[in-house]
Chain A
């Protein structure tokens, strides 16, 4: 592999890892909110939680 190959791999990998980590937090947060009982849900009454 050329220098450019290592550089591109490193930059793409960083983007994928940061985006993947952000997406993982977002997914876990959505799942945690969905399973909250209505009384403790941060979503105001009458509004359904975001899908």
Chain B
């Protein structure tokens, strides 16, 4: 059996090494080459991780929403979209957790506090918990599991624009967008801007690589669920449930997408 994957093995390997190399270059740029900020001093170096992590969380949840919509649409319905949605959501949760922790580490020296009940921070925390809930929902088997999860992913995605525009809609301690602000005028230049965009590139490569790896795992685990179900039905039939018309019939739909 050919292993289900998004990328062929060679491309995945090249992508993995490219992601690792670009993250190493980011470390050099962010820790040594970029100058310290006039106001935030060296603490600003955390922004080269915090901002790309936040953008990649948006991207990951966007891919989850897109995959879910394509799964729900009859003309494009395929287990591939459900797997992509699940794989991307898990990576998005990792990036969101990083965003929150790195923001907190930056906030302590610059704001003087670890956490504030600020619109941007709270909506981001809500985003994190929404997608943790989505991942928990994916683990519950049963008929229509993929449908249920796709609908939940689309509902959860509503929080992404709320997170992004929270700094414009409410008075917040968090600064407005440095690049994607209301005037669409970048407030960062030179080496600092280059390092920030390099960070986005490096994190994007890492995201695509991890998505492929996570997708392969999703496909393997799905195969296991189906085989366990078939085995359970066979055991039930063999244990004297006759033609299996008793409970076996109710077990046929594992909820795993086909």
Contact = CB atoms under 8 A, between A and B. Distances in A.
Interface of A: 1, 3-4, 6-7, 9-11, 13-14, 17-18, 21-22, 25-26, 28-29, 32-33, 35-37, 39-42
Contact of B220 (A17, A18, A26, A32): A32
Interface stretch (B93-101, B144-152, B174-182): B93-101
12 contacts: A1-B108, A3-B41, A10-B46, A10-B101, A10-B102, A10-B105, A11-B27, A13-B102, A17-B98, A29-B220, A35-B224, A36-B223
Interface of B: 1-3, 23, 27, 30-31, 41-43, 45-46, 49-50, 53, 91, 94, 97-98, 101-102, 105-106, 108-109, 206, 210, 213-214, 216-217, 220-221, 223-224, 227
A30 to B, nearest CB: 10
B244 to A, nearest CB: 21
A26 B213 contact: yes
A20 B41 CA distance: 30
Contact of B214 (A7, A13, A18, A25): A25
Query: Dominant SS at the A interface?
Result: helix
Given A6-B108, A11-B27, A25 B217 contact: yes
Contacts of A42: 1-3
Given A10-B102, A32-B221, A42-B2, A3 B213 contact: no
Contact of B213 (A17, A18, A29, A35): A29
Contact of A40 (B42, B210, B223): B223
Contacts of A17: 94, 97-98
Query: Dominant SS at the B interface?
Result: helix
B1 A3 contact: no
Contacts of A18: 23, 94, 206
Contact of B216 (A4, A29, A35): A29
B45 A7 contact: yes
Given A11-B30, A11-B31, A11-B49, 13 more contacts: A4-B42, A7-B31, A7-B42, A7-B45, A10-B101, A10-B105, A11-B45, A17-B97, A18-B23, A18-B206, A26-B213, A32-B217, A37-B227
Nearest to A28: B217
Given A6-B105, A37-B227, A25 B213 contact: yes
B39 to A, nearest CB: 12
A43 to B, nearest CB: 9
Contacts of A10: 46, 49-50, 101-102, 105-106
A32 B224 contact: yes
Contact of B43 (A6, A21, A28): A6
A6 B109 contact: yes
Contacts of B216: 29
Contacts of A25: 210, 213-214, 217
Contacts of B101: 10, 13
